[in-house]
Amino acid sequence: MKIDFFQDYTMTIDGAPAKSNTTFDAFNPATEEVIAKIPDASRAQLEAAVASAKRAFPAWSARPLAERQALVAKIGDAIEARAEDFMRLLTMEQGKARKGAEWEIGGSVIWCREIAKQELPMHVAERTETRTVETRRVPVGVVGAITPWNFPVLLAIWKIAPALVAGNTMILKPSPYTALCTLKLGEILCDILPPGVLNVVSGGNDLGAWLTGHPDVRKISFTGSTATGRKIMASASGNLKRITLELGGNDPAIVLPDVDVKETAEKLFWAAFQNSAQFCVAAKRLYIHEDIYDDLAAELVSYARTVKVGDGLKQGTDLGPIQNRMQFEKLKDLLSDAKTNGCRFLLGGTVSDEPGFFVPITIIDNPSEDSRVVVEEAFGPILPLLKFNDLEDVIARANDTEYGLAASVWSKDIKAARRIAERIEAGTVWVNEIHTFSPHVAFGGHKQSGIGIENAINGLAEYTNSQTLVVNSA
């Protein structure tokens, strides 16, 4: 089927395109122009999608693993074949610049191919002539997947690939802010997957709530904010759905005094501002040892001045706008709070009136530990630099948050850095590097940053139940 990526966005229900009676607008965040109409699924359409996934489940789960793996690898091929269209559309709807779009779409291809190689081993507890006791993994059933607006394609693939390899069927609901690429993904996969294996529905938060409360949905895999994660956990309790929640973070980066300041400044800049800091694992609190604080702050500011913020579709742009007005207004409010409370801005801080949801790269000089820019997850390019001189103190400050997603430690003294890393309450702690993800490495949050794991065998296992088979042949 010939698919035009830049018009006619339809949902995918039971292997066929589905329009809706009502639509809502998709905006380009760099220009604030309406770029498309997004179908707004009715409750009946959600019911149809769930019924379709339920019908498709017996045949899909019974298919040999190798066939499911091959089809998931083919999803990667299909994305690769339309990579240029995906990247352009991703920039148009999300705002990210070309390099970021390449990372996300290229990553999606790799994830499909690599997850397609995974399988869960069976555990044999006993095998004698007359008796076997084995624990194997069986799929859960119909999975509801809900994704956010910062990495709409990659984070959907993190769910689709393992869920389908494990033998589940799915209803995928993208964020209403970034539904376009996901809708096109559903459309192109109609040629690859049997009807009902992957349904894609778009709509607002109500649609998400219908999905998480649906009695025929047996698992929810959610990526988004901690506030929504709490609601989902409550709503999933009706039929004791399995849940995987990948939620917010307020990641600390701890910088010891022995680092090469210039080199580390550049790495820390990207650690904090990649994807315009709309990144769950962005370094959001930068703890710098007082001996190098002034030098590192100066290097960060000077590097930041070389980075171009603008329309992601224009050549030479490094960082795009904030993805949506809601987040844009939230960031403006955070900036005004910082100003009211006397924070000192080393860079940025003033939002222009030009069209587009642009927030300048903003670096704040040692605000108080209880200020909103430190305590809250900004999810935008506002970075507090914080001074420390005592390791025990900085570890306590780093851990003094409801979040526990990730962290990083920077030092030439690997032993010292490792000792600190081991004491950070977070699901991933990087030492002297950051944001290196792999389909074969477990990722998940501690504390209120989430429940469960994505990626690796651990992530695959989350789409299964254990089944113990005891067979007596005596």
Q: Is 280 annotated as catalytic?
A: yes
For position 228 contacting ligand NAD by CB under 6 A, the verdict is yes
Using the rule CB under 6 A, give the single segment among 56-64, 147-155, 433-441, 466-474 that binds ligand NAD: 147-155
Write down the residue that tokens 């990247």 correspond to: 87
23 binds ligand NAD (CB under 6 A): no
Greatest alpha-carbon span in the chain: 81
Residue nearest to ligand NAD as judged by C-beta position: 208
Part in contact with ligand NAD (CB under 6 A); list of ranges 13-21, 146-154, 310-318, 382-390? 146-154
Mark 230-259 with x for binding to ligand NAD (rule: CB under 6 A) and - for no binding: -xx-------------xxxx----------
Site string for ligand NAD, 183-222 (x = CB under 6 A): ----------------------x--xx--x----------
Please tell me which residue in 112, 181, 190, 280 is annotated as part of the active site: 280
- CA-to-CA distance for 188 and 158, rounded, in angstroms? 18
**Which position among 93, 246, 299, 462 bears the catalytic label?**
246
**Residue-by-residue DSSP string for 349-408:** ----SSSS-----EEEES--TTSHHHHS---SSEEEEEEE--HHHHHHHHH-SSEESEEE
Q: Is 46 in the site for ligand NAD (CB under 6 A)?
A: no
| Nearer CB in complex with ligand NAD: 133/209 | 209
Position 233, amino acid: M
Distance CA 334, CA 357 (A): 15
Q: What's the closest the beta carbon of residue 276 comes to ligand NAD, in angstroms? A: 13
Enumerate residues 338-377 that contact ligand NAD by CB under 6 A: 377
Decide if 311 contacts 320 (C-beta within 8 A). yes
# chain residues binding ligand NAD, by CB under 6 A: 29
- In whole angstroms, how close is the CB of 46 to ligand NAD at the nearest point? 12
- Residue 95 interacting with ligand NAD (CB under 6 A): no
Identify which of 308, 286, 281 has the alpha carbon closest to the alpha carbon of residue 297: 286
Angle between helices 152-165 and 180-189 in degrees, nearest 10: 40
Q: How many Cα atoms are found within 13 Å in the side-chain-facing hemisphere of 115? A: 36
Q: In whole angstroms, what is the distance from residue 302 CA to residue 262 CA?
A: 10
User: Is 312 a residue that touches ligand NAD (CB under 6 A)?
Assistant: no
Does 452 engage in binding with ligand NAD (CB under 6 A)? no
Query: In the β-sheet with 242-246, what is the strand arrangement from edge to edge?
Result: 16-18, 11-13, 198-200, 169-173, 142-146, 219-223, 242-246, 450-451
Q: Is 384 in the site for ligand NAD (CB under 6 A)?
A: no
Nearer to ligand NAD, 79 or 247 (CB): 247
- Residue 323 as a binder of ligand NAD (CB under 6 A): the answer is no
- The distance from CA 198 to its chain's CA centroid, rounded to whole angstroms, is 19
Residues 428-447 that bind ligand NAD (CB under 6 A): 445
Burial label for 306, CB within 10 Å (0-12, 13-18, 19+), is exposed
Q: Of all helices (H) and strands (E), which one includes residue 113? A: helix 98-115
Whether 181 is catalytic: no
Does 11 bind ligand NAD (CB under 6 A)? Our answer is: no
Contact 247, 226 (CB under 8 A): yes
- Residue placing its CB nearer to ligand NAD in the complex, 428 or 464: 428
56-66 burial code (b ≥16 CB/10 A, e <16): bbeebbeeeee
Among 29, 162, 167, 176, binds ligand NAD (CB under 6 A): 176
Which of the residues are catalytic?
246, 280
Which residues of this protein are in contact with ligand NAD, per CB under 6 A? 146-150, 155, 173, 175-176, 205, 208-209, 212, 223-225, 228, 231-232, 246-249, 280, 377, 379, 405, 445, 450
